[in-house]
Amino acid sequence: MNRVCVTKNGKLIEMQGGGDDREDLMEMRLGTLKQNAINAGYAEDEIDVKWVTDEEWTEIQANIYHHPHATTEIKENLTSGEAELLGEKIKLLEKRIEQLGG
Per-residue pLDDT tens digits of the chain, which is 102 residues long: 899 999 888 888 899 988 888 999 999 999 999 999 999 999 999 999 999 988 888 888 777 655 555 555 555 566 667 777 777 888 888 888 788 876
The radius of gyration of the chain's CA atoms, rounded to the nearest angstrom, is 14
CA atoms in the 13 A half-sphere facing the CB of 65: 14
Give the CA angle between residues 79, 33, 53 to the nearest 5°: 60
pLDDT score recorded for residue 4: 93
pTM for this predicted structure: 0.61
pLDDT score recorded for residue 56: 87
DSSP, collapsed to helix, strand or coil, labels residue 51 as strand
Question: Shortest CA distance to 61 belongs to which of 80, 45, 40?
Answer: 80
pLDDT score recorded for residue 102: 60
